[in-house]
Structure 1
Amino acid sequence: MHRTRILSNMFSGWSWAVHCLYLFLNICSFEVSGGLVQSCGHIIPESPVLALGSNFTALCILNESCLDFGNIYASQIIWKMKNKVIPKEQYREINRTVSSVTFNDTSSLASPLTCNVLADGQIEQNIYGISVTVGLPPEKPKNLSCIVYLSPKVEWYMNCTWNPGRHTFLDTRFRLKYMWPRETFPDCIPEYVNNSCTISDVQFFVNLEVWVEAANALGKAESDHLVFDPIEIVKPPPPRNLSVNSGILPTVLKLSWENQISTVVMELKFNIRYRISSDTNWMEVPPEDTASPRTSFSIQGLRPYTEYVFSIRCMKEDGVGFWSDWSEEQIGVTTEDKPSKGPTIWRTIDVSPSPAFWIVRLMWKALEPFEANGVILQYEVTIRAKPPLSHPPSRYNVTTTSLTLKLPNGTYEVTVVAHNRVGASPPSVLLIPSSNSKAPVKNIRTLPKDGKLWVGWTAPNNVLKYVIEWCLMSNSSDCITEWQTEPGNIQGTYLKGDIKPFKCYLITVYPLFADGQGSGQSVKAYLQQGRPSKGPTVQTKKVGKAEAVLTWNHLTVDEQNGFIRSYTILYKTVDGNETAVSVDPSKTEYTLSSLTSDTLYTVRMMAYTDAGGRSGPDFTFTTQKFGRGEIEAIVVPVCLAFLLIVLLGVLFCFNKRDLIKKHIWPNVPDPSKSNIAQWSPQVPAKHDFSSKDQMYPEGSFTDVSVVEIEADDKKSFSEQDLKPFDLLKKEKSTSEGHSSGIGGSSCMSSPRQSVSDSDEGETTQNTSSTVQYSTVVLNGYRDQTPVQVFSRSESTQPLLDSEERLEDHAGGSDSTTQRQHYFKQHCGQDETKTERPFFERAKQIISANEEDLAGFAQLQISGQSSQPLGFELEENTQEAALPDVLQTSSEGQTVRPETVEGNIPSVDEMPKSYLPQTVRQGGYMPQ
């Protein structure tokens, strides 16, 4: 069974949980005997109360009976304070059963304080513990005072209060002691607080001694003793049932009340205070006027038609004791009186559409209540014209505080009088001059001070008074004019209106003289400046390669919140540092220079007042890749160079037009001018045409390459007669690339080969693919009989089978029979020998000519054609002899071979064929 010890004192205000912890300590060294657990030691002093900051020593004493059983000695004791081991330097072993611990300053001492030992197995065992209380002794109570009151039951009681002094951290008790000279009364013990106590049933006219005693565990203290008669410390109750009545005069109010103390008990004096209901400052009636006992009083010198608040208090007439509390407040209103002054008047003048008139707006201020002395019913306005004007006076009765008139230019005297129920105010006079001819004020300035806006100026001489105008500048509303007047002997004043911070005001000061006024001088001012509401919005007006012109609008007066002192432009690239440029606040445009071409820039703008700055939104722009004129400098030279090249090309082509024409449009000889056009079988065999006498001059033929003469295969020429064909070989070697010939069989069978470059009879190119062909035209020349003439054509169009068939099937004509007979005789045996060389055929022709020319000469011009050449024999042809064979060179000259003697076949024996077109002398018609 555990043994418990009860601690005598605890810290005041500790919780129950802390009390339980400190009251119940377990003793951990045991000796079992008869079922009871006995302690092996204890600590002295037991639950001490210590003065804060003093020295303290505690002893832990072990019981002799436990030493042998537990093998415990003082050297094994461990001291702990609130479960924290105390340093061993503070231990002291007095003997084998006693150990002490010492604290030089109890300020650090905390409960519980325990002594412990290490038992077998190094297990810590608690032997004993105590609770230590640390505090201060009580101080001497101060400022003891007592007041005697009258209770609602009309009983007197006394209440005493004092200052208890410092906090002691201990349970300190106070007692109010009082006694008569020969009688002592029971102590008055405070019930709720330690600094007040009430004594009932107080007796007057006998001295009473009073003092206060304070005591705790560390000591006692008494206050000073007071000796007094309770009648000297009475605080009477305030008067009741206070009422206020209007007097006969508008400046007098009468007060009446009831006293709660009878004059038999004591005489009282009074104190009366009052104030205007709209004011917070109290005024008091002089004390000497209310020093005698009374129940009513009349207060004079009040304002007419004004509401007042009254209150009253009282005390003993001799002034010994205390004033009572103030009574409940009561309200009274004085009666009306005529206005004490006229309204303050001013004007504004605007130019009328008619130059001879003014638009005059008269303004006046409503009278203050203490000036109006009642309800203003109307205002009487009188306008008198001054010479040279002679208009009679005009009177206007209005209920507002303004009047707008259209007046001729001139000088006027304006009078305004205010009326209430009692009477009229003194007149207010304003002179409206035709011009502001007097001296103005100078050096007008403003200064915020004590939450008000002060305006100062330098005054001219002999000023009667000043008129100060001001208006709130705003974009959302018109500038509503407010104004006030000031006497002429000052040079500065505060504006009396509701001046707001962060708002701009336009202030104008006019000096008024007895005979006129000076012109107004204006200044803008702020009661308090702030940062702009927003920053300027910047845009680009023009962007170049290395510069950009920025533009912006000024902030509105509502957005400025102060005077704009400067602008700052901040710009940067995407990955570059920001650059700042300061700009004068009067500017709305700025040019950024030294920019990088074809680069994206971000720009923003800040506006600064005296209170700080604010930034506007970001704006981006990209500089141009080329500067002004650079594109023109590139394009113009390129265009000029191109035009020059074109011009040079045109000139070159013009100079080389013959060469170009030769390659693109080669000259085509005129078949009508060819010598072959003059050939006829009826003409003698030899025609000696020289180059000078030739019928067709050089250049008439564009190109004639090969003339091929065919005859019957059984006949041949001599070698001498083959000389003309040597010219064919030479011609072919020089103009093969552009020659044209007549190839193929006269019988329109398989195509034949043209003249080869080789004398050994090499195989020549097949000319069946492209053939330029001629026709034999019968025509008369110089009155001669028409003959067949070969004329060259450049056409390469193939012959139409339909044309052959058309003539082949023409029936009944003799010519058809003759052609069939001729083709059968001369061509039938060669149908199987189409591949025979040309010179073999030519040899047969020459052999046949030795005896008799039985065949006919066929002139063939070699060329490239897709069809073989045929000859069309016109219907009315005549017989003609073929005197010679004509041959044409590549330059267009006609070559006449030697005359072949022999028989010349008749016209009927000549081979016949068909052409796709008819070519006549003098030219050819295109197909």
Structure 2
Amino acid sequence: MFSKWSWLLQAVCTLLSIYSFGVSDGYARSCGYITPESAVVSLESSFTAYCILSDYCLDYGNLRADKVIWRIQTKVVPKEHYSIINETVSRVTFNDTSILASPLTCNILVAGSIEQNIYGIQVALGFSPDKPENLSCIVHQLQTGRKKYSQTCTWEPGRYTFLDTNYTLKSRWPNEEFPDCLGANNSCTSTAVVFFVDLEVWVEAKNALGIVESDRIVFDPIKHVKPLPPSNLSLNSGELPRVLKLSWENLFHEAPLELRFQIRYKIIDSINWIQVPLEDTATQRDSFFIQDLRPNTKYVFQLRCVTSWGEHWSDWSKEVVGFTAEDKPTKGPDLWRKISPVHSPENWTLVLIWKELNPSEANGIILKYDVSILGKPPLHFQQQFYSLNTTQLTLNVENGTYEVRIKASNSVGESPASVLLIPATNSRAPVKNLTAFPKDGKLWVEWIAPKTDVNRYIIEWYEECDNLTCASEWQQESGTKNCTFLRGGIKPRKSYKISVYPLYSNGQGEERSIQAYLEEDAPAIGPTVRTAKVGKTDALIEWEPLSVEEQNGFIKYYNIIYRTATGNETVVFVDPSKTEYPLSSLSSDTLYMVQVAAYTKNGGKRGPAFTFTTKKFAEGEIEAIVVPVCLAILLFTLLGVLFCFNKRDSIKKHIWPNVPDPSKSVIAQWSPQTPSKHFHHSKDQIYPEGSFTDVSVVEIDKKSFSEQDPKPFDLLRKEKNASEGHSSGIGGSSCMSSPRQSVSDSDEGEPAQNTSSTVQYSTVVPNGYRDQIPSVQVFSRSESTQPLLDSEERSEDPPVLGSDNSTPRHRYFKQNCNNDDTVMDEPHLDGAKQISPINEEDAAGPQTLQMCSSGPDEHDVALAGAFHPSPKGLAAEFETMRTNAVTEDEVPKCYLPQTVKQGGYMPQ
């Protein structure tokens, strides 16, 4: 840094020489300078600098000290640090020298307010050296070379000075000075070492700000010797299994000085060293016997030494490794058992298990295990012996008490026997207040011992898992202990079931178990919820508990979170023993979302969301409405049935009036033979079986017709011959049937019979009755032989008399037929045999008697006169019938009018 500022200062001086205001004798001269030059400034004191202007520059440009400007590098020093001594001297003072930096320059304003540099200096900041402390010297024994020893003195130099500081080690005898030793900052080494003479030693520190010396020390170098460590170490085990002999070679030989030794050793894989007591190795030697070692164990040894007068131990020697000899095992193996019934509780599968001995207990390589098992009375189980090299033995035995002994053997001998008494039941006292908790990265188990003396404890544990394949581990502890940590591979976030068994000399105590975690965490997943029952305003939800692998800790509680699509969440806390919970005060017919979260002490996890919809009606609410309504309907129905039953005669009279039986009529005695069939086409059965038959009885008084208007009868006579060829006998029901000759061709031969005979025809009305008039009516000839009763004759109908005005003459009728010449089966004929009287409305209505004729001829007039004999109404009725008559294209062809002779028919 100083070299850089020196270059800058040189450049400034060059510029000043070039632009100097005065020139004398050909040399450029500066107008001033700064004192002191190249100052070294202590950071603990103030600093004052002077800028002195030259005399010959005073009159040039009117330059004076009051125009001087001080700068630190490029920064202007504040005016309060200035002071004017006279017109040629300007002074600047720094009480805080930490603000100083190089270069410090003196500048002046010239004409035109131009700042011109006059002079500059370098400033070095630092501290004066501190007094060196803790001066000490040590003499090292050298490994090789002509010089056997070297002396190294060290001290503490104090704080850093920021300046070049020299440290010089000075030494002398009482009457002789030794050359100075120029060392580093805090040490200095010299090879001029003389024993048995006191040497005075001190340190001098010097820099630009001052000189300081340390305290002086006086010592004999022989007392500060650090010898070399012993070499060529070796071990010899010999015949003793617990003793090793360590031998070495000493490298320090300065009579009359002797050496003291320190020995340490450890097992090869251990990190803890064991030291031999110093008083056992305080004399000069080159070997030592180490005792109380473990048999058949690998050890590491190291050795160091110090002079009898000295204070400085040598470094540790190189390591040497040795083995101790084998010895017989010190204890028997830890023994335990597993019992499971086979086929029946009276038989056991007994599995004996034991642990391998530790190297410190085995004292060698275990070659075999000798096992003996003896059954206790009342068992008749003789003692059996087994020799094997595994750590497990499986036996099938009876349920009972057994004594098991086991010994481990190596090449030297066998161990003491380990004894396990296997009782039929665990009838002894158990431990109390069993607890388990993590501590220092281990899972600790504590308990309170029973009052009875315990020989030892068996601690058994296994990792809980759902597949039931987790293997168990166990360990044995002394009967004097009441706590221990599990020495197996304990994993975090895994649940362990721990059991403790106290073992007595005469049996085994009952087990006590507990669950524990080495480290807990939040559950891996949340419970999956579903609904078990849903009502109108409530719901029962349930969930499966998390598996042991998913819990990661003890479940402290469950959270149930449910809400509607637009409502706020409701949170319920549930005990961890619960797996279902009823939700109440819900809204009916509403969609809800529900989740269940499981929490351990380290956090929780929500399960998947589940949605359900509450019912619109509560359970039994629909039944409460439907059942009364059904009962009411049933009650009204029963009341209606009872009412109809009580009024059956009246109802029958209005709905089912008494109808004479046409089959019992006297007309059956004189009617022609009825054909057995009607010949209609099968597909023209437009009036099925069961159609209701309305019988119309029309009596026509010939006299009345002849008196009023003889034309109807004349018309009938004229049509006689035409009708004979196309009429059929009584009972004929098909149109265009084969012609049938009447009984008599004359309507005048038998007037008495003609007037006394009554021909009845029925009208087949499908799906109609009485005043309900169907669209199509069918007339069928009745075969009844019973005459009409007088009561059935309507009084309003005028009598129709014969030619002698004594006996009513018969009558006219017409029979409707189908369009096609088809055959009607007998069922249709039978269905057309129901007869009922025709009332006046039926007889007079145009739809009741639908005429089927070849056209509007005189026959229509005759029929009109037959049904309306009144002279006044004859013409009107006739006209009406002709107006309402069906055309030839609409009505199928029927029989032509027939005249009833004796045993025959009247014209129709």
Could you say whether these structures have the same fold, taking a TM-score greater than 0.5 normalized by the shorter chain as the test?
yes
Q: 1:670 to 1:465 in 2, by over 3 A?
A: closer
Q: Quick one: percent identity of the two aligned structures?
A: 47
Q: 1:550 to 1:514 in 2, by over 3 A?
A: same
Q: Distance in 2 between the 1:685 and 1:872 partners?
A: 13
Q: 1:699 to 1:421 in 2, by over 3 A?
A: same
Q: What is the Cα deviation at residue 603 of structure 1? A: 4.2
- What is the CA deviation profile of residues 730-759 of structure 1, one whole-angstrom value per residue up to 9, with x for unaligned ones? xxxxxxx9999xxxxxxxxxxxxxxxxxxx
Deviates more, 1:251-260 or 1:568-577: 568-577
Q: Which amino acid aligns with 2:201?
A: V
For 2:870, the equivalent position in structure 1 comes to: 895
Aligned mate of 1:290, from 246, 265, 281? 281
5+ long unaligned stretches in structure 1? 1-13, 688-692, 704-736, 741-779, 800-858, 875-880, 901-912
Q: 1:17 to 1:381 in 2, by over 3 A?
A: farther
- What is the CA deviation profile of residues 424-480 of structure 1, one whole-angstrom value per residue up to 9, with x for unaligned ones? 111111111222222222222234334333322233222232323232323267343
Q: Distance in 2 between the 1:273 and 1:617 partners?
A: 61
- Kept in 2: contact 1:669–1:699 (CA 8 A): no
Q: What is the Cα deviation at residue 488 of structure 1? A: 3.3
For 1:161, the equivalent position in structure 2 comes to: 154
- Kept in 2: contact 1:796–1:866 (CA 8 A): no
SS in 2 for 1:298: strand
Q: What is the Cα deviation at residue 229 of structure 1? A: 2.3
- Kept in 2: contact 1:471–1:479 (CA 8 A): no
For 1:674, the equivalent position in structure 2 comes to: 698
Question: Superposed, which structure 2 residues align to 1:730-749 within 5 Å?
Answer: none
For 1:607, the equivalent position in structure 2 comes to: 598
- The answer to whether structure 1 residue 521 and structure 2 residue 512 are counterparts is yes
Q: Distance in 1 between the 2:855 and 2:27 partners?
A: 163
Q: What is the Cα deviation at residue 353 of structure 1? A: 1.9
Q: Which amino acid aligns with 1:870?
A: P
Aligned mate of 1:509, from 494, 500, 508? 500
Deviates more, 1:154-163 or 1:379-388: 154-163
SS in 2 for 1:231: helix
Aligned mate of 1:151, from 142, 151, 154? 142
- The answer to whether structure 1 residue 364 and structure 2 residue 354 are counterparts is yes
Question: Superposed, which structure 2 residues align to 1:130-149 within 5 Å?
Answer: 130-149=121-140
Q: Which amino acid aligns with 1:251?
A: R
- What is the CA deviation profile of residues 228-252 of structure 1, one whole-angstrom value per residue up to 9, with x for unaligned ones? 2222211111111111122121112
For 1:223, the equivalent position in structure 2 comes to: 214
Q: Which amino acid aligns with 1:50?
A: V
Q: 1:702 to 1:147 in 2, by over 3 A?
A: closer
Q: Distance in 2 between the 1:669 and 1:392 partners?
A: 113
Q: Distance in 1 between the 2:61 and 2:588 partners?
A: 100
- Kept in 2: contact 1:887–1:895 (CA 8 A): no
- What is the CA deviation profile of residues 213-264 of structure 1, one whole-angstrom value per residue up to 9, with x for unaligned ones? 1111211221222222222211111111111122121112122222223465
Q: Distance in 1 between the 2:286 and 2:516 partners?
A: 57
Q: 1:702 to 1:199 in 2, by over 3 A?
A: closer
For 2:742, the equivalent position in structure 1 comes to: none
For 1:834, the equivalent position in structure 2 comes to: none
Aligned mate of 1:243, from 234, 239, 252? 234
Aligned mate of 1:453, from 439, 443, 448? 443
Aligned mate of 2:326, from 317, 336, 358? 336
Aligned residues between the structures: 743
Q: Which amino acid aligns with 1:519?
A: E
Question: Superposed, which structure 2 residues align to 1:152-191 within 5 Å?
Answer: 152-154=143-145, 155=147, 156-190=149-183
For 2:838, the equivalent position in structure 1 comes to: none
Deviates more, 1:163-172 or 1:482-491: 482-491
- Kept in 1: contact 2:458–2:500 (CA 8 A): yes
For 1:466, the equivalent position in structure 2 comes to: 456
Q: Which amino acid aligns with 2:373?
A: I
Q: Distance in 1 between the 2:895 and 2:759 partners?
A: 24
Q: What is the Cα deviation at residue 381 of structure 1? A: 0.6
For 1:102, the equivalent position in structure 2 comes to: 93
Q: 1:276 to 1:678 in 2, by over 3 A?
A: farther
Q: Distance in 2 between the 1:544 and 1:168 partners?
A: 91
SS in 2 for 1:202: coil
SS in 2 for 1:606: strand
For 1:916, the equivalent position in structure 2 comes to: 893
Q: 1:886 to 1:455 in 2, by over 3 A?
A: same
Q: What is the Cα deviation at residue 596 of structure 1? A: 4.7
- Kept in 1: contact 2:535–2:619 (CA 8 A): no
Q: 1:220 to 1:15 in 2, by over 3 A?
A: closer
- The answer to whether structure 1 residue 56 and structure 2 residue 47 are counterparts is yes
Question: Superposed, which structure 2 residues align to 1:193-272 within 5 Å?
Answer: 193-262=184-253, 266-272=257-263
Q: Distance in 2 between the 1:300 and 1:860 partners?
A: 148
Q: Distance in 2 between the 1:337 and 1:376 partners?
A: 11
For 2:377, the equivalent position in structure 1 comes to: 387
Aligned mate of 1:531, from 522, 525, 537? 522
For 1:623, the equivalent position in structure 2 comes to: 613
For 1:821, the equivalent position in structure 2 comes to: none
Q: Which amino acid aligns with 1:895?
A: S
Q: What is the Cα deviation at residue 159 of structure 1? A: 1.5
Question: Superposed, which structure 2 residues align to 1:550-699 within 5 Å?
Answer: 550-573=541-564, 576-596=567-587, 601-610=592-601, 612-624=602-614, 626-629=616-619, 632=622, 636=626, 673-675=697-699
- The answer to whether structure 1 residue 886 and structure 2 residue 865 are counterparts is yes
- Kept in 1: contact 2:263–2:304 (CA 8 A): yes
For 2:684, the equivalent position in structure 1 comes to: none
Q: Distance in 2 between the 1:93 and 1:867 partners?
A: 164
For 2:429, the equivalent position in structure 1 comes to: 439
Q: What is the Cα deviation at residue 785 of structure 1? A: 14
Q: Which amino acid aligns with 1:89?
A: E
Q: 1:638 to 1:76 in 2, by over 3 A?
A: farther
For 1:7, the equivalent position in structure 2 comes to: none
Q: Distance in 2 between the 1:469 and 1:895 partners?
A: 131
Q: Distance in 2 between the 1:783 and 1:659 partners?
A: 37
TM-score by length of 2: 0.70
Q: Distance in 1 between the 2:653 and 2:518 partners?
A: 98
For 1:869, the equivalent position in structure 2 comes to: 855
Q: What is the Cα deviation at residue 136 of structure 1? A: 1.5
For 1:842, the equivalent position in structure 2 comes to: none
TM-score by length of 1: 0.69
SS in 2 for 1:886: helix
Q: Distance in 2 between the 1:19 and 1:642 partners?
A: 126
Q: What is the Cα deviation at residue 660 of structure 1? A: 13
Q: Distance in 1 between the 2:130 and 2:775 partners?
A: 153
Q: 1:391 to 1:899 in 2, by over 3 A?
A: closer
Q: 1:127 to 1:599 in 2, by over 3 A?
A: farther
Q: What is the Cα deviation at residue 286 of structure 1? A: 3.0
SS in 1 for 2:91: strand
Q: Distance in 2 between the 1:699 and 1:416 partners?
A: 126
Question: Superposed, which structure 2 residues align to 1:297-376 within 5 Å?
Answer: 297-316=288-307, 318-376=308-366
Q: Which amino acid aligns with 2:698?
A: S
- Kept in 1: contact 2:819–2:892 (CA 8 A): no
SS in 2 for 1:400: coil
Q: Which amino acid aligns with 1:364?
A: W
SS in 1 for 2:181: coil
Q: Distance in 1 between the 2:611 and 2:347 partners?
A: 56
- Kept in 1: contact 2:757–2:809 (CA 8 A): no
- Kept in 2: contact 1:363–1:401 (CA 8 A): yes
Q: What is the Cα deviation at residue 208 of structure 1? A: 2.2
- Kept in 1: contact 2:5–2:122 (CA 8 A): no
Q: 1:363 to 1:669 in 2, by over 3 A?
A: closer
Aligned mate of 2:368, from 378, 382, 391? 378
Q: What is the Cα deviation at residue 520 of structure 1? A: 1.0
